[in-house]
Structure 1
Amino acid sequence: MSRRRRKSLPVEPVQCDIEKLSHDGRGIAYREGKIQFVDGALPGESVVAKVVGSRSKFDELRTLEVLTASPERATPPCDYADLCGGCSLQHMTGDAQIQFKQKTLLENFAHFGGIEPLHWEPPMRSPDLAYRRKARLGVRFVPKRDSVLVGFREKRNTFLTDINRCVVMDVRIGERITDLRDMLYGLEAHNTIAQIEVACGDETAALVFRNMEPLSAKDYETLVSFGQAHDLHIYLQPKGPDTVHRIWPEQGEERLSYRIDAFDLTMQFHPMDFTQVNADINQQMVVRAVEWLELEPDDRVLDLFCGLGNFTLPLARQAGQVIGVEGDDAMVIRGRENASLNGVDNVTFYGANLQADFTSEPWAAEGFDKILIDPPRSGAQEICEYLAAFGAKRIVYVSCNPATLARDAGVLVGKGYSLIRAGVMDMFPHTTHVESIAVFERA
């Protein structure tokens, strides 16, 4: 039986006239009736591009040369922008990126929910460099080059980009990629470190090394010395997430922290906890969410998918009572720790399966005046079916996926709510990630 031959790709570059952008930020052109998805191209441009992938209905290309440039084109701040998959929109001006994200949210509301907010809120923006406080860096030893690579995957393949710095990451890590590579190359275990989790607080940054084999005493000391030299907390993860442990510093609080200044709160977290990537946007987002709920001193508020209390504790500063509910038991514990740390005593955290009907839970029996929900990318369609039972006057929905927000908005509107306001938040500048916030009011 013969093997199917892989279709050979065109060797010669082709010229593409870009008509619009795809949802993932690639230019769209047409050649001989076939869709061309072109990385690094903008609407209105004519580019020369190389075909890097081909399927029956479309080709994938990478821009080699811009013949006619769009006014929205920018010089990428990163030398690796054309290759690295960590960012996809660095060739686009910041204003154009925001417009793209606003258009994406608008189109999703129209397509999935068939609705539009009464008012579009101006976008939340922040500095677009050195903003990223959470990341997962890949690590790979390349025998043919006798070197270690540290970074993000290349666009649309599994190779790691060969980088020396990352301009979008917190400078405590982003400017030390070369130092990190050199240190890893010197380890006896240079070929058994699989990845590095990065977590940065306001004062301290941490690296969690996924070591697939036990480390020698020499390697252990090398990692400790790296932490000492660069003022970083160093952790190891020999197996699953529950094996993560700190090796430097040996003493002291095993937590990072960040401030929410508007509410005089200090939030502590473990490096493996979920926290928002962009500290500046998080500050703005929390303030807006609390403002949009229009809290009264005697309000009883529900915060779903509450995590470590990022919204819960600010809400408790203005409401009478706040119930925070989370599916991850470790985060429930963290929320309680943060409430105690900040002396907030009008909040209670519960663990619960948020994919099931929770309206009969004891903590839900008294109902709620206001609700905040911050679900994962999959959204909260079933939950939105339940929320109407509480009769809350207002619901604020924080979203990391415009498609599921729009779908869930349709459910809430069908339950008697109106979509009052919505807007995007540029949590991930230079990427196509669309973070947004919306408020619903009961008629």
Structure 2
Amino acid sequence: MPQAAAYPRPAGLPEDALRIDSIDLDAQGIARRADGKVVFIDGALPGEWVSAQVTKRKNQWEAATLTVLHRESSLRVQPRCPHFGLHQGACGGCKMQHLEASAQVAVKQRVLEDNLWHLGKVKPELMLRPIQGPTWGYRYRARLSVRYVVKRGEVLIGFHERKSRYVADMRTCDVLQPKVSALLMPLRALIESLQARETCPQIELAAGDEVTALVLRHLEPLSDADQQKLRDFGAAHGVQWWLQPKGPDTVRLLDEGGAQLAYALPEFGITMPFKPTDFTQVNPHINRVLVTRALRLLQAQKHERVIDWFCGLGNFTLPIATQAGQVLGVEGSDALVARARQNFERNQASAPAGQALAATDFVARNLFDMTAAQLVADGTADRWLVDPPREGAFALVKALAAIHQARIGAEDAEPLPPGAEAWQPPQRIVYVSCNPATLARDAGLLVHQAGYRCTAAGAVNMFPHTAHVESMAVFERVGD
């Protein structure tokens, strides 16, 4: 049985006091008892001595909650939000407000490095400086739960309580766009005044550069009176109402006209209109830096062809089209492909003379069912940009690895698909990830089976104060 690390125990501490050795991604302090059993302690930070109340016991580990802080870490800070903490009813939207912001980034960078090594056996040649931005007021997208509490006779709007399905009693939220944080209490009063207050379970925020849109999910048709209340609220507070009676495809503007929801990527002269239920990045400040760094690492040239896998609305595709010679955007959603094509045509029409975007096409395809034959059919590209959802890009990377394994004559390799003789893999791949575990898995395939080396990787702090780890990695074809 492994023993606890030998740290001098400060005088005067109770026998049950534990020293916190490290922290996990859920912001739980990690300690070891004298017999080696691991204890995960909510609210504790590395270097601290604490007492804790055990909430769950297993053979190899225990879960606990901090009760007494005997020696405090220099990295501990006062949480800015009154709804953050370990108390009953605390909001579960953030996990790390008690940890100094730069230390949060260091934790996420370490998580990225650990995942790449332990899951993928990959060690980047260079660790990139983490991408950081504003730590407050950054969230321009959010899904807020709504509940009319009959016993209390009031409406709650916000994130769920910590470790609970109940809606937190939030009155402000410092990670939301400030305008929306200030609207939480007025929104509660508005919903409470509606005839449909018991059948409106959700409000989704989607803010662009100029427009703040709110999507009201309603389970029954809204009366004319309720719709008028929404209009009056929108006019008074400068928000644009959208209605969602059923699934995401049913979302529509309450009233047609008005400004269009959009965000800009000014460095590339690109403007991206979108609908409030389309996927866009939560943090527009980080997104601008993310796109800029991705394209700088991609290094597309005017004579080259680039494929943007999981292209969505064209967040990377259109900027790539300002630098490459030919671009293909591939996405699983027909609706997003149509929107990406519209965005390309709009930006092409408004491009200054002599600065036209490169020839760009978009196709819809299930990228979780990618094959080597389909990869060959999509043609050779000099560079790839890969930006998958949390599931990662396993099928895509596996198809690339299958071709490489066949070419080197590996045992049990599948035969090359028709036309693969002339097909060439990309020289460089820039992989943008929202899940370090699936990035590590895919990186392992690229490095150990597809003929690439990982030249760089770094964390992206898209969601300050939360456990989400976004990152970016660069893969270079061996021999190029």
Instruction: For residues 336-366 of structure 1, give each alpha carbon's deviation from its aligned partner in whole angstroms, at most 9, with x where no partner exists.
Output: 0110111135111110111223554599443
- Alpha-carbon separation, structure 1, partners of 2:434 and 2:58: 30
TM-score by length of 2: 0.85
Deviation at 1:166, TM superposition (A): 0.5
Is the contact between residue 29 and residue 37 of structure 1 (CA under 8 Å) also seen in structure 2? yes
Offset at residue 127 of structure 1 (A) = 0.7
- 8 A Cα contact 2:375 2:400, kept in partner: no
Partner of 1:7: none
C-alpha separation in 2, matches of 1:70 and 1:208: 42
Tell me the residue number matched to 2:385. 372
- Tell me if the contact between 1:323 and 1:363 (Cα under 8 Å) persists in the aligned partners: no
1:68 maps to 2:81: no
The aligned runs of 1:45-194 (5 Å cut-off) are 45-52=48-55, 58-82=61-85, 83-194=90-201
When structure 1 is superposed on structure 2, of 115-124 and 384-393 the one drifting more is 384-393
Corresponding residue for residue 244 of structure 2: 237
Q: Distance in 1 between matches of 2:20 and 2:100?
A: 17
Q: Which residue of 2 aligns with 1:261?
A: 266
CA RMSD, 1 decimal: 1.9
Matches within 5 A, 1:387-398: 387=400, 389=403, 390-398=424-432
Aligned to 1:382: 395
Counterpart position of 1:3: none
Whether contact under 8 Å (2:368, 2:394) holds in the other structure is: no
1:428 equivalent in structure 2: 463
User: Would you say the 8 A contact 1:112–1:403 is kept in 2?
Assistant: yes
Match of 2:29 among 27, 30, 51: 27
* Deviation of the 1:182 alpha carbon: 1.2
Q: Are residues 56 and 237 of structure 1, via their aligned partners in 2, closer, same or farther at CA, if it must alter by over 3 Å?
A: farther
Which residue in the other structure is 2:215 paired with? 208
Contact 2:216-2:242 within 8 A present in 1 as well: yes
Query: Which segment drifts farther, 385-394 or 236-245?
Result: 385-394
- Per-residue deviation at 1:175? 1.8
Q: CA deviation at 1:54?
A: 5.5
Alpha carbons of structure 1 residues 286 and 274: separation in structure 2 relative to 1, 3 Å:
same
Tell me by how many angstroms 1:284 deviates: 0.7
CA shift in 2, pair 1:201/1:74, >3 Å: same
Cα distance in 1 for residues equivalent to 2:363 and 2:183 = 40
Aligned partners of 1:358 and 1:364 also within 8 Å: no
Q: Please, which moves more after superposition, 170-179 or 415-424?
A: 170-179
Task: Tell me how far 1:55 sits from its aligned partner.
Answer: 5.7
Cα distance in 2, alignment partners of residues 437 and 395 from structure 1 = 10
- 1:160–1:32 CA distance, 2 compared to 1 (3 A): farther
Match in the other structure for 1:441:
476
* Amino acid aligned to 1:26: Q
Alpha-carbon distance in structure 1 between the residues aligned to 2:221 and 2:193: 16
- Contact in 2 for aligned 1:151/1:160 (Cα 8 Å): yes
Residue 328 of structure 2 is aligned to residue 323 of structure 1: yes
- Residue 400 (structure 1) aligns with: 434
Question: Counterpart amino acid of 1:188?
Answer: Q
Higher share in strand: 1
Which amino acid is 1:145 matched to?
Answer: R
Letter in 1 for 2:153: D
Count residues in correspondence. Answer: 428
- Shift in Å at residue 46 of structure 1? 2.5
- Map Cα deviations across residues 280-322 of structure 1 (whole Å, 9 max, x no partner): 1111111111111111111100000000000000111000000
> Which of structures 1 and 2 has the bigger CA Rg?
2
Q: Indicate conservation of the 8 Å contact 1:308/1:332, yes or no.
A: yes
Preserved CA contact (<8 Å) 2:385 2:429: yes
| Contact 1:401–1:434 (CA under 8 A) maintained in structure 2 | yes
CA distance in 1, matches of 2:476, 2:341: 30
Give me the whole-angstrom Cα distance separating, in 2, the residues matched to 1:268 and 1:363: 32
What is the aligned counterpart of 1:251 among 252, 257, 263?
257
Compared with structure 1, are the counterparts of its residues 412 and 222 closer, same or farther at alpha carbon in structure 2 (3 Å cutoff)?
same
Report if aligned partners of 1:380, 1:408 keep a CA contact under 8 Å in 2: yes
TM-score (norm 1): 0.92
Q: CA deviation at 1:122?
A: 0.5
Q: Aligned partners of 2:55, 2:236: CA distance in 1, in Å?
A: 42
> Contact 1:339 / 1:345 at 8 angstroms: preserved in 2?
no
Deviations 1:148-200 (A, max 9, x none): 11111111111111110110011121221111111111112211111111101
Amino acid at match of 1:333: A
Q: Which runs of 5+ in 2 are unaligned?
A: 1-15, 349-356, 404-423
Distance of aligned partners of 1:169 and 1:365 in 2 relative to their CA distance in 1, 3 Å threshold: closer
Equivalent residue letter for 1:76? P
Instruction: State, as a whole percentage, how many aligned pairs show the same letter.
Output: 45
Alignment-derived partner of residue 352 in structure 1 = 365
2:60, 2:225 → 1: CA distance?
Answer: 54
Which residue does 1:313 correspond to in 2? 318
